[in-house]
Amino acid sequence: VQLRYTWAISDDVTIIKSGDEFGKLEVVNATQKKLILNNNDNFSLDPKSTKHIIGKIDFKIADSDELRFYPFIAINSFPPPPLAAWPGIAKWNLYENYTLALIAIDAKSSPRQAWLQLSKDDYVIEDLVVRTGDTYWYNGTQHEIFSAKIEVVFKGTTTDLVRLTDVYQYSETNGSLLINNNTHSFTHGSPDRQDWEIYENYNFSLVDIDARVTPRQAWLQLSKNNVTVMDSVVVSGDCFSYRPNTTIFRACVGDIFQGMNNAGSKLVTLEDVYQYSEINGSVLINNATYLFMPEEAAPLETAELEENYTLSLIDIDARATPREAWLQISNGTYKSNAIVHDGERYTDGALEIVIGSVFYGKKSTNLVQFSSVRQYSANGTLILNQSMLLADQYPNGEIWALHENYALNPREIDAHVYPRQVWFTLLKNGTPVYDTVMRSKQVYTYYNGSMKVFTAKIDSVFAGATTDMVQLREIKQYSELDGGEFADLPAWYPVHLTYGYDIAAKQINWRTIALQLSKNNRIIDEGIFSDTFMLEDSDNQITVSGSLNSHNITQYYNDMEVLNLTNVTLKAGYSKKTLTISPRSLKISITSPIHRLQRNPITFASSVIGGTPPYSYNWTSTINNHIGSTDTFSRNLLDGSHTITARVTDSKGVTVTDSIVISSYNKLRGDVNSDTQITSADAAIVLQIAVGSSLCDSKTLAVADVSEDGKVTSLDALMILQ
């Protein structure tokens, strides 16, 4: 830290006023602008003498016939100037024992800053912090000694560069010009350069990239016969032009890319490249493009397309704005490379690609979501049209089990971009069916064909020091069987009625309340009320009414009262669901099966987060004993009530478990009266259950629910008759 214009003010301040005496002097006038002191007593100014006046001030009188004297302060010793203790990373030895050193470059400032140090005879004269465009002067006691303009301050991945232009040095003894309008470059490090051999022994090189400054910088260099003829630090959109007398070489800079994963993953695209012969002026390179890239870069992930094509994710530049991804397209014999960003539409021969999102997670997950990948055959026929996702790893967050064997997995958060992004995977029976990257305030929706299955609004995305979190609002799930909305997402406080009905408060404000009537977790009717309310299931002749202020609820079946509740308070449920993404401890959650009643074969699935991979699994049943050793599997169970325990152990020996209770009941579906036949008698029993005149326990539900929609209706009776 360099301080200038620093003042130290004493706590003990002397107030000077007229009449005060100081030594042989008296103050005769003291104002804000001047201080006049006169001597009260005479004193002799003898030639070649020293007369004390006040404090440390003396008059020294010359040895001459003419009176000449001057005031002076005697200082016994001067502190020596500091030694040039910092060795620096590069030095330039100037004339008359002066040295200018580059001490360091501030790698995180934008624009870049360089710390320079001027010294003489190894003693520091001045430290200075400069930026691109600054001009530095050092003036001696008589005149200017040194000046220079800072053209470039560059901090690459392996090299440092500070270039000075308009450099002048003057002799401090006679003022003569020692350095006249020179250029000097401080360089440090070992560049991992990429070379492009062009015509007539010229070589064009990418020396390094400064990816942490805005805008990005690339250090380019043109040489001939291994002698540099021009180098320049450029940004995207600049053109590099070498013309000693006439134009010999010209190239314009497109993308400047610095990857996060592959070592040395530095790319610079060149456009409008021309080279002209310095012998006869002929065109050697005519409007070409070129890509500086490392020779070997292994793909992070590759997708197999049609007709031997592949699409690979090589690397991601998470520091670029907007985010950029390096893609490689191959047809088996030819490879093309592209730098793409969010929302870009890219075409390469047979492929048309639309980039949905470029994602770099806190766990270093690299992901590109393609909104569309379209591929055409040689005759122009569309042979591939789908969305796609390329990722180098698939971390797990807290998996939330939904209905009908669905589960939602917030895998990873991208905290390096604004607004923050979250990668969601929706699973069915433990298998991913929908991956997408969403941002705060966007709505996540999944359709199975034309049927909406799940929707939720991303309320907030939080990235903490140890745990990440996503909050969802306005959550709804719909059955794939009949499109009905489930009533218990995410967590409500229902009041239980008769015949399997529930009523719950879904939302409350200062004047109104939203109520939902449901049966078997399926919403039947809903409305918003301020006091009196009425909800109904007209198909089954059920009506529920009451008063919020009087706290009573009455249920009717076919206009006959079947239930009357008093002193009932409807408590509002949660309006949001919070999912953690990176908890610190090991945790296993059984994600399938979800419902208690199951028929063979049964699919088992689990989600593990935290701990240290790899994991080992052990599944057990209280009836069948050991049933599985992987995270997902299917098998048959014996009839009865099973306690299923999933046990996981990580590589450090930490073990945790999760358990559920299910009933395996494999009786013939539709045989409600257990006579080993499916007849109209079974249909009659099912109709009685559907209208609520007969009870239905879990075992009966497993047999009577022929349509497998989780409830008993007239549809089940019709299917039995058919």
**pLDDT score of 4 more than 90:** no
CA 56 to chain centre: 65
Residues 286 and 195 in one domain: yes
Residues 27 and 60 in one domain: yes
6 in any annotated domain: no
User: pLDDT band for position 116 (50/70/90)?
Assistant: very high
Residues 549 and 590 in one domain: no
Task: Return all residues near 12 (Cβ < 8 A) that are at least 6 apart.
Answer: none
- State the pLDDT at residue 691: 79
CATH number of domain containing 456: 2.60.98.40
What is the domain count for the chain? 8
Q: How far apart are CA 707 and CA 484, in angstroms?
A: 14
Task: Return all residues near 208 (Cβ < 8 A) that are at least 6 apart.
Answer: 154, 156, 157, 158, 159, 161, 191, 192, 193, 218, 219, 266
Q: At 296, list the tokens.
A: 């070997």
- State the pLDDT at residue 53: 80
- State the pLDDT at residue 73: 77
Residue where a domain stops, chosen among 356, 388, 420: 388
Residues 636 and 654 in one domain: yes
Residues 144 and 222 in one domain: no
- State the pLDDT at residue 501: 86
DSSP-assigned states of every residue in 243-297: -SSS--EEEEEEEEEE-SSSTT-EEEEEEEEEEE-TTT--EEEEEEEEEE--S--
- State the pLDDT at residue 340: 93
Residues 206 and 280 in one domain: yes
488 in any annotated domain: no
Given a contact cutoff of 8 angstroms between Cβ atoms, the answer to whether 220 and 232 are in contact is: yes
**pLDDT score of 149 more than 70:** yes
Q: At 134, list the tokens.
A: 């600054």
Least confident of 65-74, 214-223, 482-491: 482-491
Residues 281 and 314 in one domain: no
**pLDDT score of 582 more than 70:** no
User: pLDDT band for position 56 (50/70/90)?
Assistant: confident
Residue where a domain stops, chosen among 477, 512, 545: 477
Q: Look at 482 and 574; give whichever has higher pLDDT.
A: 482
Instruction: State how beta strands 113-120 and 123-131 pair.
Output: antiparallel
138 in any annotated domain: yes
Residue where a domain stops, chosen among 388, 417, 450: 388
DSSP-assigned states of every residue in 223-240: EETTEEEEEEEE-TT-EE
- What share of the chain has pLDDT > 90, as a percent? 44
- Helix (H) or strand (E) segment spanning residue 619: strand 616-621
The closest of 40, 48, 2 to 24, measured between CA atoms, is 40
490 in any annotated domain: no
669 in any annotated domain: no
Instruction: State how beta strands 597-598 and 655-664 pair.
Output: parallel
- State the pLDDT at residue 574: 55
Residues 216 and 178 in one domain: no
Residues 657 and 685 in one domain: no
Residues 184 and 195 in one domain: no
Given a contact cutoff of 8 angstroms between Cβ atoms, the answer to whether 675 and 720 are in contact is: no
8 in any annotated domain: no
Segment 281-310, tens digit of pLDDT:
999 999 999 999 887 778 999 999 999 999
Domain membership of residue 536 as a residue range = 495-565
514 in any annotated domain: yes
Please compute Rg for the chain using Cα positions: 41
Residues 217 and 254 in one domain: yes
Angle at 272 between CA 267 and CA 276, to 5 degrees: 115
Given a contact cutoff of 8 angstroms between Cβ atoms, the answer to whether 411 and 364 are in contact is: no
Residues 257 and 313 in one domain: no
Least confident of 240-254, 488-502, 647-661: 488-502
653 in any annotated domain: yes
Q: How far apart are CA 226 and CA 560, in angstroms?
A: 101
Q: How far apart are CA 440 and CA 413, in angstroms?
A: 11
